[in-house]
Structure 1
């Protein structure tokens, strides 16, 4: 405000004039409501289930509030897939639950989070909440949306224990029998669409977590070898990070550790 009094001082007349000018400015028009299609016999209107409404609100808020950055890395999982075959032969002989690729990824993610606690965080306004325990959520598609049951203390479980836990959680998620505590407390989420043939995608961060890993399908690629090109199984993983608390270099170091675990899979079992 420019004062009109002696030596540029602001006087009462200046304040009243400024108030009158502000009152004369028209208020911004409200945002238009989403356009509704006209009623038609060719369109079936389906109510949005409560679970999808909640998910829509949470993920919309996540994209609006959290500045997402995306980091993608190709991982050679040839040895991982071979290890899975060997593990499952042993587990089947013992009558135990078989291990999926996703189980091995969850275990590797949990180990990488233990190595990089700066990823196992949540944004809290003027502070960062660093979680001392590693709770890995896994996105599960159900009939009317998506649920994220949580494998608590995943870094302390063996791969076979994670396999048993994920089978139980996934089955009860589809039956809508999960308890609230089994869907809360996650510090990181894994979303795997590889079983649907999706090779690469980006996922929206599940608030209040600071990162989520999108896992694609393993595909055969020619890679250089000692005696010429060889066929290797390659899987692409994409890390979505909340840039307010996880920068690109931090996310890249996490992916570097994760790739090292997946490419030398015996380390996952240690």
Structure 2
């Protein structure tokens, strides 16, 4: 069967030999590069020095065990710039944060087999509880309430408790073993200038709404000031990304390694629903759970999401 233009066999003769110059072979050996995975630019496809140097500069490539089928490469910077008229754009060089985000998200999409699960949560009881909880806050010396819990703070608590109820989903996948976590360490996506960071609320299942709200407020402030310590944003087994405050109804988030799941939260909005066979108005919040299929299977992910929904719709049980 003929290969398409986006697929190619590794260069070589009919007897499997690789056509490469002696210098190219030496450089490849010194750099740990497999010539089978390369395409030569020399005469008749011969691999030459410049090919090896370019491959080494591009970073490590997988060792091939047979004919290599390559995915099509993305457009080069030069090609992209040619698509736009000169002077019609300005260039903003990537800072280290944007480079790190791009690298980690590319790694996540390429290496983690994602699947998503979605459900709708009725949050009228949650909104009432939040209002009562905040109204009970005493005034501080500055005359302001000592705490103000957000819907997102309650969502973090619900996700943490759901992982305790469904512990097989509170995991991290490694190549040799599954790491099953004892505590629920929940990351919360925080937008900052130039990108985002995900500080971790450790042992979130043991903390009150007030404690989570206070901790997240401090973490978010220091994240925007870029004063977080590595242990405050590394690790965790899940994360919450909430775009509801922007009016986003539903979306799916990319899993941030080493997490096995991430919960994408949309806006709460009044919708007409059926109750006892009659139409009624309820405040509904759509959530989407992205799952690493290597670590959590479909039924287990669905069980986790169902437990989260139960807690959100009966929030008083989280006060026990």
Instruction: Answer yes or no: same fold by TM over 0.5.
Output: yes
> Please, what TM-score do these two structures have when normalized by structure 1?
0.88
Decide which of 15, 18, 27 is 1:21's aligned counterpart: 15
Aligned pair count reads: 253
Matched, 1:130 2:180: yes
Cα distance change, pair 228–211 in 1 and its aligned pair in 2 (3 A): same
1:186 to partner: Cα distance: 1.5
**Residue 189 of structure 1: aligned partner:** 239
Matched, 1:78 2:72: no
**Residue 295 of structure 2: aligned partner:** 245
Cα distance change, pair 222–262 in 1 and its aligned pair in 2 (3 A): same
1:225 to partner: Cα distance: 3.0
Cα distance change, pair 222–133 in 1 and its aligned pair in 2 (3 A): same
SS in structure 2 of the partner of residue 47 of structure 1: coil
1:161 to partner: Cα distance: 0.4
Give the whole-Å Cα distance in 1 for the aligned partners of 2:75 and 2:265: 36
Give the whole-Å Cα distance in 2 for the aligned partners of 1:251 and 1:132: 18
Cα distance change, pair 185–256 in 1 and its aligned pair in 2 (3 A): same
**Residue 202 of structure 2: aligned partner:** 152
Matched, 1:58 2:104: yes
Give the whole-Å Cα distance in 2 for the aligned partners of 1:92 and 1:206: 38
Can you list the C-alpha shifts for 1:35-70, whole angstroms capped at 9, x where unaligned? 331372111011011101101101111110110000
CA RMSD of aligned residues (A): 2.1
Give the whole-Å Cα distance in 2 for the aligned partners of 1:97 and 1:32: 49
**Residue 212 of structure 1: aligned partner:** 262
Counterpart mapping for 1:91-170 below 5 A: 91=137, 93=139, 95-170=145-220
Can you list the C-alpha shifts for 1:142-171, whole angstroms capped at 9, x where unaligned? 011011011111011111100100111111
The runs of 5 or more residues in structure 1 that have no matched partner are 1-17
**Residue 263 of structure 1: aligned partner:** 313
Can you list the C-alpha shifts for 1:185-209, whole angstroms capped at 9, x where unaligned? 2121110000111010000001011
Matched, 1:37 2:81: yes
SS in structure 2 of the partner of residue 22 of structure 1: coil
Decide which of 43, 46, 49 is 2:92's aligned counterpart: 46
Give the whole-Å Cα distance in 1 for the aligned partners of 2:176 and 2:13: 34
1:112 to partner: Cα distance: 0.3
1:96 to partner: Cα distance: 1.4
Q: Does the CA-based 8 Å contact 1:92-1:98 persist in structure 2?
A: no
Give the whole-Å Cα distance in 2 for the aligned partners of 1:227 and 1:118: 37
Give the whole-Å Cα distance in 2 for the aligned partners of 1:75 and 1:32: 40
SS in structure 2 of the partner of residue 41 of structure 1: coil
Cα distance change, pair 32–199 in 1 and its aligned pair in 2 (3 A): closer
Can you list the C-alpha shifts for 1:68-92, whole angstroms capped at 9, x where unaligned? 0000011111110111111111125
Can you list the C-alpha shifts for 1:230-263, whole angstroms capped at 9, x where unaligned? 2100001100001011111100000111100000
The runs of 5 or more residues in structure 2 that have no matched partner are 1-11, 20-35, 40-54, 56-72
1:227 to partner: Cα distance: 8.3
Give the whole-Å Cα distance in 1 for the aligned partners of 2:277 and 2:116: 35
